[in-house]
C-alpha cells in the first residue's frame, strides 16, 4: 500500500469514529470511481469522507478529484494539505501547477503555502520556478514569520536547478536563517560560464 494512503486511511478511520465505521470501510475499499466521485458532490458529506474519496480518485488519475484536492491543499490542517499534495502530484491534471502556483504566491494564505511550494517542486512544471522565486522574495521582509515556507522555496529552487533562481538565492545569503540553505541551493545551479574577452 502507498505509504501516504496508509497514513491517510489510519487518520481518517480515527476521525470517522465507530459510528461511521461502515461508511468509512465502504469508501476505503470500493473500486467504483463513480461512487467516490458522488461523495464529492453529495450534500452534507463529512470532511473525512470527501477527503478519502478525493484522495483515492486522485491516485486513480480521475480528474473529478481536482477541485476537492485543491481545496484540501489550502486547508489549515497540515496533514490534509500533505495528503492533497501527494494525490495532486499523481493526478496528472494540467491545471495542478497553475493552482499550486496561485496558492503558493497568495500572500493572504502564505501560512498554508508550504505544501503548495513542495508540490511545485515535485511537479517541475513551467510555473514552478517563477512561483518559488516570487514567494521567496516576499519572505525577505524583517521578522517574517514564515521561515519554513522560505526554506522550502530555497531548497526547491536548488532542486529544480534553474539559473533564473540565482539572483533571489544570492539575496537569500544575506538573511541568516536562510544563508546555509541558500549556499547549498546555489551549488546545485548550473555552473556559470566565464564571459569571453
Q: What is the pLDDT of residues 94-120, one digit of tens each?
A: 999 999 999 999 999 999 999 999 999
C-alpha cell at 76: 489549515
pLDDT band at 142; cut points 50, 70, 90: confident
Q: Which pairs from 136-144 meet CB under 8 Å and 24+ separation?
A: 136/168, 136/172, 137/168, 137/171, 138/107, 138/110, 139/178, 140/171, 140/172, 140/175
Q: What is the pLDDT of residue 12?
A: 93
Looking at the predicted structure, is the pLDDT value of residue 6 above 90? no
Say whether pTM exceeds 0.75. Answer: yes
Amino acid at each position: 500500500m502507498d505509504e501516504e494512503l496508509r497514513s491517510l486511511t489510519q487518520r481518517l478511520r480515527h476521525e470517522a469514529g465507530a459510528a461511521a465505521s461502515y461508511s468509512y470501510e465502504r469508501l476505503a475499499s470500493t473500486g467504483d470511481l463513480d461512487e467516490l466521485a458522488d461523495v464529492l458532490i453529495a450534500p452534507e458529506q463529512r470532511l473525512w469522507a470527501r477527503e478519502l474519496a478525493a484522495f483515492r480518485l486522485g491516485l486513480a488519475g480521475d480528474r473529478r478529484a481536482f477541485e476537492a484536492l485543491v481545496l484540501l491543499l489550502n486547508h489549515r490542517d497540515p496533514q490534509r494539505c500533505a495528503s492533497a499534495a501527494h494525490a495532486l502530484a499523481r493526478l496528472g491534471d494540467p491545471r495542478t501547477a497553475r493552482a499550486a502556483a496561485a496558492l503558493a504566491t497568495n500572500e493572504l494564505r502564505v501560512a498554508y503555502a508550504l505544501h503548495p511550494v513542495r508540490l511545485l517542486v515535485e511537479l517541475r512544471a513551467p510555473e514552478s520556478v517563477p512561483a518559488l522565486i516570487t514567494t521567496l522574495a516576499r519572505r525577505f521582509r524583517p521578522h517574517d514569520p514564515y521561515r519554513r515556507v522560505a526554506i522550502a522555496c530555497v531548497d526547491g529552487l536548488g532542486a529544480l536547478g534553474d539559473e533564473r533562481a540565482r539572483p533571489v538565492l544570492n539575496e537569500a545569503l544575506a538573511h541568516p536563517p536562510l544563508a546555509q540553505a541558500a549556499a547549498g541551493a546555489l551549488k546545485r545551479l548550473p555552473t556559470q560560464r566565464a564571459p569571453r574577452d
